Amino acid sequence: METPQKPLGTGFGTNTTVDELLPGLSLDGKVAIVTGGHSGLGLETTRALSNAGARVIVGSRDIRRASAAVAALKNVEVAHLDLSSATSVDRFADAFISANSALDILINNAGVMATPLTRDSRGYESQFAVNHLGHFQLTFRLWAALKRARGARVIALSSLGHRFSGVDLEDPNFSARPYDKWVAYGQSKSANSLFAIELDKRGLSHGIRAFAVHPGRIVETNLLRNLSQDEMMAAGIYEENSVRRLTTAGGVAKTISQGAATTIWAATSPSLAGKGGVYCENCDIAEIVPDDSKLQGGVRQWAVDRNVATSLWELSERLTLISLGRT
């Protein structure tokens, strides 16, 4: 049965932190993978999973930097993963599968934002390729391990940025239409949400449930590295004494711990048992808002449309030359 895209009334909210979720949470014996789990939201997610007793594998393009970042954490290891390279994705997944381990939690956290037009080796636009297609391929390659867990959860990091655009199924790689980095970012974040919806449908019979997550507006993140000062101001971000803040128009800023809380909640909360295929924010299921809404929250209908989710999945299979079928 489909899970309604309606809040559960969890009692959590914008200010809930990771540490508020950790008491009583035991992940002893569980195995998790966090892409980009060595910085920002990813590092906080890795820390929380580690502190709860899980073994965590961090996928990173920069092994040295990632290893240094997680050195103080227990039961955390780092493996090379470049989501823009199909070969790298396969190599990472093959190494994990060869160990014959179950994968209880897969957190597709890594991503890029508002980059200039660049393409991967296949000619695919980089934000769509990294944020969506790379994680699509990774999840497929790890499918056997997810099934082995008999109750795995997959978390796709979406964003309020999905409001900038739905997915253009006819031209996802900007081969014909003019490139706009924010439209491209919005498309990739809508794709993340749609991916979770279709993945949940296809994984249900194997106990695999999937959730899309909006972490919130966070200003201390490497995602902003491609923005000029003017672009940050336009996005409602300003600097005060070298500290980034949000203007009133920019909404409410979250700390890194508050931003990672919804990821940890979606990956572990008993309140989501038997549920899946929904977009979450503030440690709850988000509500659907009008497509032209100016609210700094909620999910637009195009990012949770189940028919579009199926079409995107089929397109992604063709673009990556892999097929999970309908089992």
Question: Could you give the residue numbers annotated as active site?
Answer: 185
State the Cα–Cα distance between residues 257 and 45, nearest whole angstrom.
8
Q: How many CB atoms lie within 10 A of CB 241?
A: 5
Tokens of 128: 């769509």
Tokens of 59: 């996928």
β-bridge pairing 284-285 and 278-281? antiparallel
Kind and range of the H or E run holding 174: none
In sequence order, the 6+-apart residues with CB closer than 8 A to the CB of 105 are 27, 30, 31, 32, 33, 49, 54, 152, 153, 154, 155, 267, 268
State the Cα–Cα distance between residues 184 and 146, nearest whole angstrom.
30
Kind and range of the H or E run holding 191: helix 181-203
| Phi and psi torsions of 116, nearest 5° | -60, 160
State the Cα–Cα distance between residues 162 and 299, nearest whole angstrom.
8
Strands of 23-98, DSSP E: 31-35, 55-60, 76-80
Using DSSP's 3-state secondary structure scheme, residue 307 falls into helix
Kind and range of the H or E run holding 61: none
Tokens of 251: 């909404």
For residue 4, what are the CA distances in angstroms to 13, 208, 286, 296? 19, 18, 10, 21
Q: How many CA atoms lie within 13 A of 323 on its CB side?
A: 6
Kind and range of the H or E run holding 308: helix 306-320
